[in-house]
């Protein structure tokens, strides 16, 4: 049996965003390059989220560590990337959508309370170079496990399900888990073990969310600074513009 998932505190965002960033300028690479036990399924694009991209981009080191995590899984399992780098507009859409749902359910709550509840599952949209949203850095990944038929394992909740049961260690608190709940516990432990051994840290409110290199990773990992700040995939237009600028210069 895998070791129990520890119950970690929620991030103190003031401390998280106070950590310095020394971006190493590592490029983004498409996770769809992977073969074998690492796969990519851009969930937001498939769901038709406005401006979502049909690819899962990650920093190069993140890609290599995902490969390491996938290789460490038990035979028959594949690591599936559901989301990674995302445009600011997608981050804003996700934040606004969840905020509005929560506000509709609890209209009496203050703006501060609504923001706190929303940030449990979606970070505040930000391209501030000192405090970018984690998914805008290319260092955050949303992942799950699939079996040898390509079907997602039962993780207790759906990806992006905004409920207390989505907290990574939620099922660890059960005194007498049912057979199905025990299976969920094992699945989450398997994912957690593979990802943390590969150097990732987990966001405790989301069993699917892992970080490397960004401010969340630095905070949970006890590192003095982050390696990744706000970034974006290089486009053909940008590449040509840089080449023209070099020639003119």
Could you report the per-residue pLDDT of 6-17, keeping only the tens digit for each? 999 999 999 999
Quick one: pLDDT at residue 1?
53
With bands split at pLDDT 50, 70 and 90, how would you rate the model's confidence at 121?
confident
Quick one: pLDDT at residue 97?
86
Cα separation of 210 and 82, whole Å? 12
Q: What is the phi/psi pair of residue 220, to 5°?
A: -75, -30
Does the structure show a pLDDT above 70 at 38? yes
State how beta strands 78-83 and 140-146 pair: antiparallel
The whole-number average pLDDT for the span 145-157 is 97
* Range from 50-59, 116-125, 233-242 carrying the lowest mean pLDDT: 233-242
Q: Give the DSSP per-residue string, the chain.
A: -PPPPP-PPPP-HHHHTTS-B----PPEEEGGG--SSEEE--HHHHTT-TT--SS-EEEHHHHHHHHHHHHTSPTT-EEEEEE-S--HHHHHHHHHHHHHHHHHH-TTS-HHHHHHHHHTTSPPP---TTS--GGGTT-EEEEEEE-TTSPBP--SS-TT--SGGGSTTGGGG-SS--HHHHHHHHHHHHHHHHHHHTT-EE-TT-TTEEESSSHHHHHHHT-SSBS--S--PPPHHHHHHHHHHHHH-
Residue 105 marked in a binding site:
no
The whole-number average pLDDT for the span 53-75 is 98
With bands split at pLDDT 50, 70 and 90, how would you rate the model's confidence at 120?
confident
Residue 135 marked in a binding site:
yes
How far is CA 197 from its chain centroid?
16
Average pLDDT, the chain: 93
The whole-number average pLDDT for the span 107-133 is 85
Of all residues in the chain, what percent carry a pLDDT higher than 90?
77
Q: Catalytic residue among 75, 206, 234, 237, which?
A: 206
The whole-number average pLDDT for the span 195-208 is 97
With bands split at pLDDT 50, 70 and 90, how would you rate the model's confidence at 35?
confident
Fold of the domain spanning 13-248: Muramoyl-pentapeptide Carboxypeptidase; domain 2 (3.30.1380)
Residue 187 marked in a binding site:
no
Is 120 known to be catalytic? no
Quick one: pLDDT at residue 249?
63
């Amino acid at each position: 049996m895998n070791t129990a998932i520890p119950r970690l505190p929620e991030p103190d965002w003031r401390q998280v965003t106070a950590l310095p960033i020394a971006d190493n300028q590592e490029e983004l690479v498409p996770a769809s390059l992977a073969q074998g036990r690492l796969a990519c399924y851009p969930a937001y694009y498939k769901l038709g989220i406005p401006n979502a991209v049909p690819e899962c981009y990650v920093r190069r080191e993140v890609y290599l560590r995902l490969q390491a995590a996938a290789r460490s899984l038990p035979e028959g399992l594949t690591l599936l990337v559901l989301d990674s780098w995302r445009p600011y507009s997608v981050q804003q859409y996700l934040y606004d959508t969840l905020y509005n749902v929560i506000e509709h359910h609890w209209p009496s709550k203050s703006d501060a309370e609504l923001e706190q509840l929303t940030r449990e599952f979606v970070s505040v949209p930000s391209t501030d170079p000192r405090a970018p949203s984690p998914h805008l850095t290319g260092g955050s990944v949303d992942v799950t496990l699939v079996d040898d038929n390509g079907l997602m394992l039962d993780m207790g909740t759906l990806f992006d399900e905004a409920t207390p049961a989505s907290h990574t260690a939620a099922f660890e608190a059960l005194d007498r888990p049912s057979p199905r709940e025990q299976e969920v516990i094992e699945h989450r432990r398997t994912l957690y073990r593979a990802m943390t051994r590969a150097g990732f840290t987990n966001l405790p409110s989301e069993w699917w969310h892992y970080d490397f290199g960004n401010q969340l990773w630095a905070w949970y990992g006890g590192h003095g600074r982050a390696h990744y700040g706000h970034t974006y995939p290089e486009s053909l237009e940008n590449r040509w513009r840089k080449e023209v600028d070099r020639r003119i210069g």
